[in-house]
Amino acid sequence: QVQLVESGGGLVQAGGSLRLSCVVSGSRFSVPFLAWYRQAPGKQRDLVASISSGWSTNYADSVKGRFTISRDKTMNVGYLEMNSLKPEDTAVYYCNSRISSRDYWGQGTQVTVSS
């Protein structure tokens, strides 16, 4: 009964910052991979950033240099630090985890950037 819960979304002005959190619970196995996706109205869900065991990271070109993905040493809590936010960053942000070759998703958290 794996559950992912995101938090930290909200309304922020352009140029501001937010920090999203993702808590993974209920897994009988380790959590080797964590990723953040986002979906704006009328658009597909796209990968924003990912982090694997060994702390190897990957970022979408649109957020590179502004966003930072990380996880704590328990491997069950992930973060997305978002800086220099732009109106085009407005979307629902989802946490994703691959556990034992299966994908799990959180319910999403809304991020709205005003101009």
Q: What pLDDT, in 10s, does the model give residues 105-115? A: 999 999 999 99
Greatest alpha-carbon span in the chain:
44
Q: What pLDDT, in 10s, does the model give residues 90-102? A: 999 999 998 888 8
Residue type present at position 90: T
What is the average per-residue pLDDT within 27-46?
90
| Among the listed residues 2, 28, 7, the one whose alpha carbon sits nearest the alpha carbon of residue 108 | 7
